[in-house]
Amino acid sequence: MAGQSVLVVEDTAEIRELVATVLARAGFDVRAVGTGAACLAEVRRSAPDLVVLDLGLPDGDGTEVCRRLRAESGSYVLMLTARAEEVDLLVGLAVGADGYMAKPFSPRELVARVQAMLRRPRPAVVPADDAVVRLADLEVDEDSREVRVDGAVVDLTRTEFDLLAALAARPGRVLQRETLLREVWQTEWSGSLRLVEAHMSNLRRKLTAAGLRAAEIRTVRGVGYRLVA
């Protein structure tokens, strides 16, 4: 992990120092700030590889900070939250967070999550001689990392694109949630299955809002998902 940088954004000094110390000991180049404004300024200055972002900040909600981060930065975003409600999770993921951790958490789990997020591969959608998957009114372009419905680009987060790309690489085949966890998040921790469900919910909502009709992501109850036309 040498050379990879992490920005910790947490208003509680004790937690901020703990997280920063744990990640620094794991070999990351760590900076830490306590407000959303300081977060945005530091991201513009140093372009960290990953931002650990608390949802509850003194100068605004973490989801709004995440939205602004996603508009101007390619950093991964791992949200920390003491609020376990489903709506908080869905809103955080919808605005572009790549994952979340609920407080309290173990230092070992935090390091493992950050390491897994930073080594996440981009699943190959199709062979190199054809970088675009076309399925009815849906196009998934791996080279440009764009998704189009009837030719119009759909604004997806990094993780939503990776999920759709994994499904598009094997149209019609059922992908287990555990398979998606391994390919997109590089983890086999069963507690992360909720992440798959939440991101899939946001992905479907965006595709439906974009007018997707012929192609669809179907749930295979108790197993996973498949992309069909």
**Cα separation of 77 and 52, whole Å?**
6
Q: Which helix (H) or strand (E) holds 84?
A: none
Lowest mean pLDDT, pick from 43-47, 88-92, 170-174, 202-206: 88-92
pLDDT single digits (tens) 88-134: 666 667 777 888 888 888 999 999 989 988 887 544 334 444 578 88
pLDDT for residue 13 is more than 50: yes
> How many CB atoms neighbour CB 148 within 10 A?
17
Write out the residue limits of the CATH 1.10.10.10 domain(s) in the chain. Answer: 132-228
Nearest to 212 by CA among 125, 142, 152, 133: 152
| Under 8 Å between Cβ of 23 and 114 | yes
pLDDT score of 127: 42
pLDDT single digits (tens) 24-65: 999 999 999 999 999 999 999 998 999 999 988 998 888 889
5-118 is a CATH 3.90.1150.10 domain:
no
pLDDT score of 88: 61
DSSP 103-158: SS--HHHHHHHHHHHHT------S-TT--EEEETTEEEETTTTEEEETTEEE---H
**Cα separation of 92 and 94, whole Å?**
5
Fold of 132-228: Arc Repressor Mutant, subunit A (1.10.10)
**Cα separation of 154 and 212, whole Å?**
10
Nearest to 103 by CA among 87, 116, 84, 123: 84
Write out the residue limits of the CATH 3.40.50.2300 domain(s) in the chain. Answer: 5-118
Count Cβ neighbours within 10 Å for each residue of 156-173 and write b for 16 or more, e otherwise: bbbbbbbbbbbbbbebee
Q: Which two tokens stand for residue 191?
A: 């507690």
Q: Which two tokens stand for residue 115?
A: 């390491």
Positions of E strands within 45-131: 50-54, 56-57, 60-61, 76-81, 99-102
Whole-number mean pLDDT of the chain? Answer: 85
| Under 8 Å between Cβ of 150 and 211 | yes
